[in-house]
A = this chain, B = another copy of it.
Amino acid sequence: MKSIQSLVIIGSGNVATHLALAFKEAGINIYGVYSKTFEHAKNLAKKLDTIAYLTIDDIPTNADAYLLAVSDSALLDILKQLPPVDSLLMHTSGTVGLDVFPNKFKKTAVFYPLQTFTKEKKVDFSTVPILIESKDEEVLKLLQILGNKISKEVKHANSEQRKQLHLAAVFACNFTNYLFQISYDLLDKNGLDFALLKPLIKETIEKLDFLSPAEAQTGPTIRRDFETLNEHLEILKDYPDYHYIYHIISDQILKLNSK
């Protein structure tokens, strides 16, 4: 089996955009882009200096591989419509298993970049873990080579492990960002700039390079400084939702760290 030299991109969201740009930069030939919304496909195609397909039937069947970077809910629908191709089909979802591919496709895989993507911000893929999965050993080798064109961190992970990683990422990133929302809002309401907290946030993350999160835990809760806890809950009286979150997370920290 020859290495993957050409790709069709299906999808036009953040994952599709960032991966396609990284692949193009790595010298992969991007045949074209398909998206349910033709306008979106055209926009991404323009960035990639390639063409956009108006309908699924316009997608050529001779690309080396097809990258499906669409929402989990759209994936099954698109797979139903796609004609059977001999080439490799890859989806990029953290939560969807390899079993999503209908039998009409012979070479299937998952190519999951464990990263959060924002439209406006370029991602340095070189350290982004790419988690690959396929039942076909040959395909795994091709994925390894393809992944290494954009990242040093290409690893095998089965569907179960990918799900666990995705779940852990929700806690470590999405939920963390929600706590930043609370923090931002509390400061904003008091005329204070969230930027003041950034060195503290950066240090909180950097600590994890040599301590486990349990070892790195600081603050009034872990110190069992109940005077400060009560004062915080008093300040939060005016913000019932934040009061509730403060109360519950404090309780959990006390519980988790007194086992």
Contacts and interface: CB of A to CB of B under 8 A. Distances in A.
Copies in the complex: 2
Contacts of A241: 252, 255-256
Interface stretch (A48-56, A102-110, A202-210): A202-210
A226 to B, nearest CB: 10
Interface stretch (A19-27, A57-65, A112-120): A112-120
Interface residues of A, number: 91
Contacts of A203: 115-116, 123
Contact of A129 (B116, B199, B225): B199
A82 interface: no
A156 to B, nearest CB: 12
Contact of A180 (B163, B172, B210, B252): B172
A37 interface: no
Interface string A191-230: 0101011111111111111111110111111110101100
Nearest to A120: B210
A121 B215 CA distance: 13
A173 B120 CA distance: 26
Given A192-B165, A205-B202, A253-B178, A71 B231 contact: no
A196 B165 contact: yes
Interface of A: 71-73, 95, 114-116, 118, 120-121, 123, 127-129, 153, 155, 157, 160-161, 163-184, 186-187, 190, 192, 194, 196-214, 216-223, 225, 227-228, 231-232, 235-236, 241-242, 244-246, 248-249, 252-253, 255-256
